Amino acid sequence: MSLMPIRQRGVRRIDASEILFLSGNGGTVGILKSVKPRMVFIGTPDEEEIVMFLEKEDLIVISAFDEGPDIEKGIKCMGYLLREMESPIVVLPDNHPTSKRLKMVVAVGDSVRLDCNITPGTHPEQDILCTCNELSGVKLSSTENGVLIEGHIDNLKLDKL
């Protein structure tokens, strides 16, 4: 189902069985709710583990560096791994060669800024996420029943998870 574009600021409902896709030229972002309080473990380059405590309304945001049905399927799979299988998030050190090969990156929390000027997979801070140029500058914030989107988005799609 297609939704109306967002020019400045808008709230979109997302329930436990849904994912909201934002797409731009060369990138797709999937947004789902945590659904219940949970811990997310984040492995960092300095061999520490950060624990993020999520509330049920917090966001799991996945950014992929391509678009289309196969990318959306991959984002759904990553969302399932994080939310249902409780997979940890791994952060790479700066200049790690694998960051050039990443197809998707993840951020979790109550607020996430999308930015095209960061190296994928190298930010343990969960308030910033690498994305394509067209989605850069968008801010996502959790609401009780959905997500507040601030910025310019032309392509939104709500889908079943």
Tokens of 64: 């992929």
Q: Residue 156 and residue 30: Cα distance in Å, rounded?
A: 10
User: Model's pTM, two decimal places?
Assistant: 0.90
Query: What is the 8-class DSSP label of residue 65?
Result: S
Question: How confident is the model over 16-38, as pLDDT tens digits?
Answer: 999 999 999 999 999 999 999 99
Question: How confident is the model over 97-139, as pLDDT tens digits?
Answer: 887 788 899 999 999 999 888 766 656 677 889 899 999 999 9
Q: Residue 123 and residue 136: Cα distance in Å, rounded?
A: 16
**Whether residue 2 has pLDDT greater than 70:** no
